[in-house]
Chain A
Amino acid sequence: MRTLRPDLEVIFSHVAPGSRVLDVGCGDGVLLAALRDERGCDARGMEIEPGNVAECVAKGLSVIQGDADKDLTFYPDDSVDYAILSQTLQTTHRPDKVLEELLRIGRRAFVSFPNFAHWRVRLSLLWGGRMPVTRLLPVAWYETPNIHHVTVDDFRALVGKRGIRVERAWFLTGDKRTSAAAANFRAEHAVFLLSR
């Protein structure tokens, strides 16, 4: 039985069958394989780690080794129905530009990220005075790939400012849903479905 990470499960279950999908930062291709095999999607990916790319190719997936900051320019406008960026936004140099690229390539984009304003993170910073190391952010500040920490409210503000439409949003604590109202405080993960 396959088990997808909770944010990927949300994305998986909201991608229309048969659609064209580009997963940016697709890792070992677990979401792409599920979309291809169970949803009949034309599923493609981009991944920065060569070992992961090799694993994707071995799964029969079409995955390009590339960097979300630089290589999204490779893709023509409107080339997919959904561009997916799961747990990768906070690792890019220019998250705002990456978002723009996603919505140039895809008519819609799924974006998921760990919420830096989750109460555990706040507590850790407030009481510990140290950069938080939590279940979702398990790596110390000096070796984490996460260089642009973002909160749910930051993200809402950015997409608002850029005139990007939020079609839906899901907020998760572990694998449980949490309400949109208190999401900035209570959600560990957020998943947004965006459109131009």
Chain B
Amino acid sequence: MATAPLLAEARELELAEPLALDCGQRLQGVRIAFETYGRLDADNANTILIFHATTGDQHVASINPRTGKPGWWDRMVGPGKPIDTDRFFVLCANVLGGCMGSTGPSSLAADGAPYAMRFPVITIRDMVRAQVALLDSLGIERLHAAAGGSMGGMQALSLAANWPDRVERVLAIAATATMGAQNIAFQEVGRQAIMADPNWQGGHYYGTGKAPDAGLAVARMAAHITYLSEASLTEKFGRRLQDRTQKSFGFDADFQVESYLRHQGLSFISRFDANSYLYITRAMSYFDLAEEHGGRLAEAFAATTARFCVVSFDSDWLYPTEVSRRLVHGLNAAGAPVSFVELSAPFGHDSFLLEVPALDRVVRGFLDQ
């Protein structure tokens, strides 16, 4: 049975005050594109803020206008779903540095030209800072919960660590408190692929009719592999050939997996800005909650009264269970009430977006308490 598309309200806010960033700059005229679902209750106490992942957007459960596809967490967010929009007022904003309506490198600076590389380097905390400003403008003092997977989980953790009185529950799925060397390495590969594309033009490609599409597509292809698991790739593609019976002895996409990755790369460039990719992955590489708090992760959570739920997946090798355990260790040392579960799912890091019924139960249970 088809369900009616969820009524999302697309909105935009321009911050009246400049946003003070970690790099020391103050960013003027920050715009935040966001969507809301459900109704804010009378005492402003039922808001769930969902943070999106690296290349996600505010269309958490509405049709994405650029792709025409359902929202990225459509299976989790909606009436009667684990994040129940009949009960909760759900808020999801495009991150600072993004390219879906919030201010980012493709936005126009005060001089009327796109920022491009003049955009300041931002951090995960800056992204959260922008969303706290959004909460302020909406009059939401305290969230029922903040939730996210991957980079979304990192933002939820950053919110709890830096604005401890703004959130009661924190759900961090397939996330980490500290970006590790392997992940920084993958992020660097993506950035270098973009910057090595001559069409990147030092970042000033806007309006030139040429964009670093090839570089961005390669970045996406490499990243996409890290979101999957070997088992899921093997099951989905194995060594099967694409529309042919023999190898071509050339460099076409002989294998289905090659064709699939090329398709992933191509569809990505139609919806994402290369400079946004640079800035957002830079923010991720810089992310270290412990470092922000004197080198001790427990210190980061010393002032929070929130309850935490940390979820990892056994097939996720990008943010493996071990990094979730370190996070849980820090939360425990801070005395924070924390639940942690490693769920079994075959899809690698992307499991948080896919059909994992155990995740639904955990999310629903944690948010309902």
At the interface, yes or no: A64 with Cβ under 8 Å from chain B?
yes
Cβ-defined contact, B341 with A62, below 8 A = no
Task: Please name the residue on chain B nearest to A79 by beta carbon.
Answer: B335
- CB-CB under 8 A from B332, the residues of chain A are 64, 74-76, 79
With A50-B343, A50-B344 as given contacts, are A57 and B362 in contact (CB-CB < 8 Å)?
Answer: yes
Q: Does A24 contact B (CB under 8 A)?
A: no
Interface size on A, residues (CB 8 A): 23
Residues of chain A contacted by B271 (CB below 8 angstroms): none
A172 to B20, CA, bound (A): 65
Question: Which chain B residues border A54 with CB–CB below 8 Å?
Answer: 341, 343, 358, 361-362, 365
B41 at the interface (CB under 8 A from A): no
| B338 contacts partner chain A, Cβ-Cβ < 8 Å | yes
Residue A61 lies at the interface, judged by CB distance under 8 Å to chain B:
yes
B333 within 8 A of A: yes
Q: A54-B358, A57-B309 are in contact. Are A64 and B339 (CB under 8 A)?
A: yes
| Chain A contacts with B in 64-95, Cβ cutoff 8 A | 64-66, 71, 74-76, 79
Q: Is the CB of A58 within 8 A of B337?
A: no
| Chain A positions within 8 Å of B343 at CB level | 50, 54
Judge whether B141 is part of the interface by a CB distance below 8 angstroms.
no
Out of A50, A59, A66, name the residue touching B365 (CB < 8 Å): A59
- Is A63 an interface residue when CB atoms closer than 8 A count as contact? yes
Interface of A is mostly: mixed
A60 touches which of B341, B342, B368 (Cβ 8 Å): B368
In the complex, chain B residues whose CB is within 8 Å of the CB of A74? 325, 328-329, 332-333
Contact between A63 and B342, CB atoms less than 8 A apart: no
Is A118 an interface residue, CB under 8 A from the partner?
Answer: no
Q: Which residues of A contact B338 (CB under 8 A)?
A: 62, 64
Contacts A57-B309, A57-B366, A74-B329 hold; do A50 and B361 have CB atoms under 8 A apart?
Answer: no
Closest Cβ of chain A to B320, distance in Å, is 14
B340 lies within 8 A of A65 (CB): yes
Q: Which of B311-354 contact A (CB under 8 A)?
A: 325, 328-329, 332-333, 335, 337-344
Whether the pair A57, B342 counts as a contact (CB closer than 8 A) is: no
A65 engages B341 (CB within 8 Å): yes
Question: With contacts A58-B361, A59-B365, A74-B329 known, is A53 near B339, CB below 8 A?
Answer: yes
Is A108 positioned at the interface, with any CB of B under 8 Å from its CB? no
| B369 contacts partner chain A, Cβ-Cβ < 8 Å | yes
**B307 within 8 Å of A (CB atoms):** yes
Instruction: Give the complex CA separation of A56 and B340 in angstroms.
Output: 10
In the complex, A189 has a CB within 8 A of chain B: no
Closest to B369 in A: A60
